Structure 1
Amino acid sequence: MSPILGALLPIFAVIGVGWGLRRSGLMPAEQWPAISRLAYIGLSPALLFSVISRADFHTITVAPAVLAAALGFLSMGILVIALKPLIRTDGPAFTSIFQGAVRWNGLVILALATLSFGLDGEVLVSLIMVVTIPIVNIMAVSVLTVWGTSAKKPDVQSVIWRIISNPLILGCLAGGVANIFGWFQTGPVAEVLALMGRAALPLILLAVGAALDFSALNARRHLLAISVTLKLIVAPLVFGAIAWALGVRGDALAIVVLVGASPGAASAYVLAQQLGGDRRLTAGDVTASTLFSMITLPLAVWIAVQMG
């Protein structure tokens, strides 16, 4: 069994447990938003702080891989907009296809990279998150502002505040400052944050499973197929090509491809709900990309490993 497949199976098993807990009623559906919020706002920043603050950046080269990932997201955004005349659908549905193609579930990929590539993989994905979260959010909000149906359009100030107050970005930035000055790398504070961080990924994976909506897979299947194809097949090819052109090789190349091949994130549904996207199509995309990524993720990373 390959390392990536060996890491993927327990991750999807935990996602399946989350779906089973919600489906069985042992954890009612109305409780899951609070669990997801706890993991996202309370625990994930602690995890990212702990990872970044303790990282030894003298032993790893991250800049080319982070740049490749950023250019990958920008390229996918440009590609989807260029394909709009060919997709032939209404504005809200197009925004959902766009979000499906460019959004990624960073915390799921963080868990996978940690199990597959160790500390270096964990650090690299964390840095990719802090650089690309603003890029992806700006692109998604811009597209929803133009083609969404909500009468409430976000202003520039609200978009900027949404990005700079993102708890994942704040956790990474705080960890970077601590790394530079040598703060909280040992001692009680570091131990508390590390303990909180270890609780983040299991809760996130359980919440991902609980959010799966299989009934949404029947919503506009041809558009769903376009969205999932762009995310799980086209995106890893684009990310891999850019990384290769920038000289990224080895595990770093595999991680960039892993980021490109990530399933969609539930945050896309929230943004579609707020800004007039097609919520049903977005829910279907998150569910379908999560399910099919169990097949495409190991294949994409295997190809990247052979190339690198």
Structure 2
Amino acid sequence: MNAVASALIPIFGVIALGWAMRRSGLVRKELWLGVNRLSYQALLPSLLFSTISRADYAGLPAGSFLIAVTLGFVVMGALCLALKPLPVPGPAYTSLFQGGVRWNGFVLLALAGTAFGTEGNALAALVFAPTVPLINVMCVVVLTVWGTSDVKPDARRVGMRIVTNPLIIACLLGAACNALGLFQTGPVADTAALAGRAALPLILMAIGAGLDFSALKARPKLLMLSVSLKLIIAPLVFIVLGRLFGVEGVALALLAAIGSTPGAAAAYVLAAELGGDARLMAGHVTATTLLAFLAMPFWIWTTSFL
């Protein structure tokens, strides 16, 4: 069996476990909000800090890799904007846009260490620093223009949300400590590593708990288009950009994985807050989460021929 597919089986198994726990009522629906908040505010930042601060980036193509991945999201944003002339209501278009540009970095982090080793793990953690602010700004602007909510975030609020984002702060602190040689070992490093190990299982179960199969019936044609953007067009864009910037090997495979990850559950929350089509967004997240099990191994496999 393909090594990537083998690594994905336990990841999607944990996602399925989260869905079963929510569906059975074993863990009440409202408790998952707390799990999400704990993971996002504390556990995942600990994981990112621990990984980046102790990683050895000597010899890794971190610069060209980050340029390619950042441009990949910019290109996907431009492609999604090019679809605006379609006869689609504004709120539905915002969800189509989010579907094309948002990615689930948690699935990537869970896969990276197993499938790509320490090199892939180190590069995967770095991706969050440039992409979190970029994607959030793009999506908020599109929702502000074409969403239907009366709540219009101002630039200062969006800026503060980015500056205080715990994932970005963790990445920057981790990079600083890596450069200065701080907290490579000792109680702080061990505490961050221990907390970080709890992040991915909880996040993956929360992803499963949020799956909504009934939403797959919402706007089936638009849903098919948004899924195609995420799992067919995006991987191609990231792979092509990677080759243009001389990225190869593990780093190129990682770019393919980033392009083919499922949609992010955060897109549903933003759609509900700012007047997007939340139902379509829920369907997109559910469909891409299911289909990514096939898409990710395929696109990663294609990079072995490049």
- TM-score scaled to structure 2, two decimals? 0.98
Structure 2 residue matching 1:84: 3-state secondary structure: coil
- Listed one character per residue, the Cα deviations across residues 53-91 of structure 1 (whole Å, up to 9, x for unaligned) are 1011213221111111101100000011112213x2100
Q: Distance in 2 between matches of 1:272 and 1:81?
A: 17
CA distance in 1, matches of 2:75, 2:204: 28
User: For 1:89, what is the secondary structure of its paired residue?
Assistant: coil
Q: For 1:240-270, what per-residue CA distance to the aligned partner results, in whole angstroms no more than 9, with x for missing partners? A: 1111111111111010111011110011011
Could you tell me whether the CA contact under 8 Å between 2:119 and 2:250 is conserved in 1? no
DSSP-derived class of the 2:85 partner: helix
1:296-307 equivalence runs, <5 A: 296-307=295-306
1:134 partnered with 2:133: yes
Are the counterparts in 2 of residues 54 and 185 from structure 1 also a CA contact under 8 Å?
yes
Counterpart residue identity of residue 8, structure 1: L
Residue 127 of structure 2: SS of its match in structure 1?
helix
Identity %: 55
Given that residues 212 and 286 in structure 1 are in contact (C-alpha distance below 8 angstroms), is that contact kept between their aligned partners in structure 2? Answer: yes
Question: 1:194-214 deviations in whole A, cap 9, x for unaligned?
Answer: 000000011110100000011
Q: Identify the residue that residue 153 of structure 1 maps to in structure 2.
A: 152
1:98 corresponding residue in structure 2: 97
Moved more, 58-67 or 287-296: 58-67
Once the two structures are superposed, residues 143-187 of structure 1 have per-residue CA deviations (whole angstroms, 9 ceiling, x without a partner) of 001100111211111111111111111111111111122221111
Structure 1 counterpart of 2:32:
32
| Aligned equivalent of 1:200 | 199
On the 8 A contact 1:53/1:175 being kept in 2, the answer is yes
Task: Work out the CA distance in 2 between the residues paired with 1:57 and 1:103.
Answer: 26
Match for residue 208 of structure 2?
209
Aligned to 2:63: 63
CA contact (8 A) 1:50 1:190 kept: yes
Could you tell me whether the CA contact under 8 Å between 1:251 and 1:305 is conserved in 2?
A: no
Instruction: Quote how far apart the aligned CAs of 1:109 are.
Output: 0.7
Q: Aligned residue for 1:292? A: 291
**Residue 75 of structure 2 corresponds to which residue in structure 1?**
75
Structure 1 runs (4+) greater than 2 angstroms displaced:
none
Provide Cα deviations, 1:122-147, integer angstroms capped at 9, x if missing partner. Answer: 11111111111111111101100110
Alignment gaps of 5+ in structure 1: none
- Give me the whole-angstrom Cα distance separating, in 2, the residues matched to 1:201 and 1:53: 18
Deviations 1:214-255 (A, max 9, x none): 111111111111100000001001111111111111111010
Tell me the equivalent position of 1:234. 233
The Cα of 1:45 is off from its aligned counterpart by: 0.4
Give the paired residue count: 306
In structure 2, list runs of 5 or more residues that go unmatched. none
Q: How far did residue 99 of structure 1 move?
A: 0.2
- The 1-side partners of 2:297 and 2:57 are apart by 28
CA distance in structure 2 between the partners assigned to 1:162 and 1:148 by the alignment: 19
How far, CA to CA, are the matches of 2:29 and 2:171 in structure 1?
31
Indicate yes or no: 2:118 matched with 1:116.
no
Deviations 1:93-136 (A, max 9, x none): 00000001000011111111111011111111111111111111
Moved more, 175-184 or 262-271: 175-184
Q: Distance in 1 between matches of 2:36 and 2:304?
A: 33
Secondary structure of the 1:294 match is helix
Letter in 2 for 1:281: L
CA contact (8 A) 2:231 2:292 kept: yes
CA distance in 2, matches of 1:41, 1:305: 36
- The aligned counterpart of 1:280 is 279
Give the deviation of 1:306 after TM superposition: 2.0
Report the Cα distance in structure 1 between the residues aligned to 2:218 and 2:204, rounded to whole angstroms.
Answer: 24
Contact 2:147-2:276 within 8 A present in 1 as well: yes
Computed over aligned residues only, the root mean square deviation of the Cα atoms, in angstroms, reads 0.9
Give, in whole Å, the separation in 2 of the partners of 1:180 and 1:239.
28
Could you tell me which residue of structure 2 aligns to residue 166 of structure 1? 165
The C-alpha deviation readout for 1:16-62, integer Å capped at 9, x for no partner, is 00101111111111111101111111100000000011011213221
Structure 2 SS opposite 1:247: coil
Matched, 1:9 2:9: yes
